[in-house]
Amino acid sequence: MNKKKILKTVLRFVLPLYLFTLLPLTASAQKFALIDMEYILKNVPAYERANEQLNQVSKKWQAEVEALNTEASTMYKNYQNEVVFLSQDQKKKRQEAIMAKEKQASDLKRKYFGPEGELFKKRTSLITPIQDEIYNAVKDISDQRGYSLVIDRSSNATGIIYGSPKVDISNEVLQKLGYSYQ
């Protein structure tokens, strides 16, 4: 009976002490690194070209939408100027034409700039290969150096207050991608 009490006491105090001494050893074995994705993307020419293409396409599509909105606005102003001279049937037809033009502009805007619109699809087709290439470079470097975690220091969501430049592998990622860095 005395042996059971001693064993319980030992397990109660020694086991937690043993676990707490092992935890720091396993935690210190994990390696981590930081990257600055904004810095990397600034130094990848393909990303700049993709953004330029997206801006050009966006401006072109925005001009098309604005042209339809301007046309609807002109139709409405003309309607207001002529409303006293129009019959009920003519008023109704003009109102329907104005609403149809506004709907056409709204539909075109949704088609181009909506959540699953053409701009989203274009951005995905241009940017995803670049992101995949960066991801693969980061993964290769992490595998070679044994990093368990790589954090993007430029992301606002990470909450990094300080990151030592010694653990920043951004330049190494650029080098792996075949780009020079500034």
Per-residue pLDDT of the chain (182 residues), as tens digits, is 565 566 556 555 554 555 555 555 555 567 888 888 889 999 999 999 999 999 999 999 999 999 999 999 999 999 999 999 999 999 999 999 999 999 999 999 999 999 999 999 999 999 999 999 998 998 889 888 888 888 888 876 655 645 667 778 888 888 888 887 66
Evaluate whether 33 touches 142 at the Cβ level (below 8 Å).
yes
Beta strand segments in 58-182, E: 147-152
Q: Which residues contact 181 (CB under 8 A, 6 or more apart)?
A: 39, 43, 170, 171, 174, 175
The whole-model pTM stands at 0.67
Residue ranges covered by each domain of the chain? 24-177
Integer-rounded Cα Rg, in Å, for the chain is 31
